[in-house]
Amino acid sequence: MFRAALAAAPKALFGGRARRRWTHLVLGGALAMPFLLAGSVLLVLLGVGGGTGLLDTPRNQVLSLAVGLSFVPLVALFPVARSVAVAAVRALRVAGSGDGLGDGPARSWAARGRTSAWFALHLVLGVAVSGATLGVVPLGLALVVLPPVSALRGEPFGDSHPAFSGWGYVLAPFGGLAALVALAACAAAAGAVLARAVPVLLGPGPADRLAAAERRAADLAVRNRLARELHDSVGHALSAVGLQAAAARRVLDRDPEFVRTALTAIEETTRRTVGELDAVLGVLREGDAGAPTAPAPTLATDLDGLLRRTGATGLRVETALEPGPHGLAALPPQVSREAYRIVQEALGNALRHAGTGTAVDLRVTVTAAGLEITAENPLPPAPRPPPRTGGGHGLPGIADRVRLLGGTVTAGAHDGRWSLCVRLPLRDGA
């Protein structure tokens, strides 16, 4: 055990982590200089410590540092102070990877108080290590090179000096090495103290954890919205294209005109879906503000196209449209977009579960109170095999969209028919 500790000692004292912590402490000593000067000026103005000069005695230097550190809490009260401290700790990897630190400015008085304590600890240890570094390193190096360098044998290291005559020259290098090792040990110990204090003084508080949870919730909301868009647009398009291709294959020799119509619908569906896919993925492109995107389809802009492409699969859609006195274009944009996706998903469900040749009754009614969408289709006479695996997100996606708009949705089987009814309010700001 002793040998293992002895073997690990050089890395602990002079390894990369020890050097980074040492550098961080020296930076703390440099940051303490303005506070030290401010404290000394204040002492001179107050006539404390004899008032004989700035930093003229060790006693006055200690008093100046103590008075100067009293200004540290004032600086640390600025919210950005913690961000600066955390950035330095992470850049130099004082506490390993820096994980678990408080991101962003201090949001509470308790966090600012911990930041003040961190700055005070960093500056005090920094002054001690910096002062020792400036004093011990030159002295230790001088003692190490004393015997082979005859130029150093003048004053104060001359032959006449009792401490550096005879055995003094032999022992001087060992004393110098011991001083350097002791300095490294002190710096490593001070760095370890700072590293242990990092999570306590710079770690996230309750306000930081709440802000992180809110950011995560916002990210999850965006991901869920993108997942719904991909499911509704791409999923519907792939189902429609698959059914169109299957229908065209079955009548390839008997009805060339139907095949031509189906191929045209496949071309139009894929072209439009690529544009919608690019629009959705454009949200994920960071720093690509110029990425080409297609506008999201709405009831006013693409309901006819949606019905035409769906009809090319062999699904018969009987549409009853009551757009109100101002037409579908008067619908709020968000309601029109979400309603389009709801209609798209309703037709896609009918395609997947009822099959081609089925008649779907679709009714879209706009009134002063709201928008009502009803889709009904007969249930298949026997259970159909699932057309794909991993599905089952259509109705929950519709429910999510309706809930976000403050509407209601009912769905289920009644008297051999499947019915979906959605009501969306059209109040101000919907």
Do 273 and 365 reside in the same domain of the chain? yes
Is there a single domain that holds both residue 229 and residue 199? Answer: no
Q: What is the pLDDT of residues 178-231, one digit of tens each?
A: 999 999 999 999 999 988 888 888 888 777 777 777 777 777 776 777 677 666
Provide the residue type at 104 as one letter: G
Q: 112 lies in a domain?
A: yes
- At 308, is the pLDDT very low, low, confident or very high (cuts 50, 70, 90)? confident
End-to-end CA distance of the chain: 72
pLDDT at 91: 82
Tell which of 203, 230, 264 closes a domain: 203
With a CB cutoff of 8 Å and minimum separation 6, the contacts of 376 are: 360, 361, 417, 418, 419, 420
Judging by DSSP bridges, how do beta strands 359-366 and 370-378 pair with one another? antiparallel
For residues 362 and 317, the answer to whether their CB atoms sit within 8 Å is yes
The predicted pLDDT at position 421 comes to: 92
Distance, in Å, from the CA atom of 106 to the CA atom of 208, rounded to the nearest integer, reads 8
* Residues 197 and 220 placed together within one structural domain of the fold: no
What is the domain extent for residue 281?
212-425
Full-model pTM: 0.52
Please state, rounded to an integer, the average pLDDT across all residues of the chain: 76
- Counting DSSP H helices and E strands in the chain, the numbers are 13, 5
Answer yes or no: is 118 within a domain.
Answer: yes
| Structural domain contains residue 45 | yes
> What is the pLDDT averaged over residues 53-63?
69
Share of the chain above pLDDT 70, in %: 76
User: Mean of the pLDDT values across residues 72-86?
Assistant: 79
Mean pLDDT in residue range 115-131: 88
Q: Predicted confidence band at 294 (pLDDT cuts at 50, 70, 90)?
A: low
CA–CA dist 20, 307 (Å, integer): 67
Q: Is residue 168 located within the same domain as residue 296?
A: no
DSSP assignment string, 38-91 = HHHHHHHHHTGGGGSSTT-SHHHHHHHHHHHHTTHHHHHTSTHHHHHHHHHHHH
429 — pLDDT class (breaks 50, 70, 90):
very low
What's the total number of domains in the chain?
2
Query: Does 32 share its domain with 129?
Result: yes
Q: Is position 394 within any domain?
A: yes
Beta-strand ranges (E) seen in 228-349 are 316-322
Residue 140 counted as domain residue? yes
What's the pLDDT at 287? 44
The pLDDT score that the predictor gives to residue 316 is 81
Q: Let me know whether 267 and 142 are in one domain.
A: no
Considering only residues 424 and 401, tell me which one the structure prediction assigns the higher pLDDT.
424
| Structure confidence at residue 390 (pLDDT) | 44
Res. 350: pLDDT tops 60: yes
Residue 127 scores a pLDDT above 70:
yes
In the prediction, which pLDDT does 427 show?
Answer: 64
Q: Give the H or E element holding residue 364.
A: strand 359-366
CATH code of the domain containing 250:
3.30.565.10
| pLDDT tens profile 360-387 | 889 999 888 889 999 988 887 655 544 4
Residue type, 169: Y
Residues 329 and 281 in one domain: yes
Q: Is residue 158 in a domain?
A: yes
129 pLDDT band, cuts 50/70/90, is very high
| 430 domain residue, yes or no | no
| pLDDT confidence tier of residue 321, bands split at 50, 70 and 90 | confident
Per-residue buried b or exposed e for 236-262, using 16+ beta carbons within 10 Å of the residue's own CB = bbebbbbbbeebbeeeeeeeeebbebb
Say if residue 343 is in the same domain as residue 376: yes
In angstroms, the CA 421 to CA 423 distance is: 7
Specify whether 191 is located in the same domain as 328.
no
Q: Which of 48-62, 165-179, 278-292 has the lowest mean pLDDT?
A: 278-292
108 pLDDT band, cuts 50/70/90, is confident
Both 137 and 245 in one domain: the answer is no
Whether residues 199 and 319 fall in one domain: no
Q: Which of 145, 174, 203 is the last residue of a domain?
A: 203
> What is the rounded average pLDDT of the residues 264-281?
73
CB neighbour list of residue 421: distance below 8 Å, 6 or more residues apart? 372, 373, 374, 409, 410, 411
Does residue 229 sit in the same domain as residue 153?
Answer: no
* Domain-ending residue, one of 168, 203, 238: 203
What does the DSSP assignment read for 390-412?
Answer: S---HHHHHHHHHHHTT-EEEEE
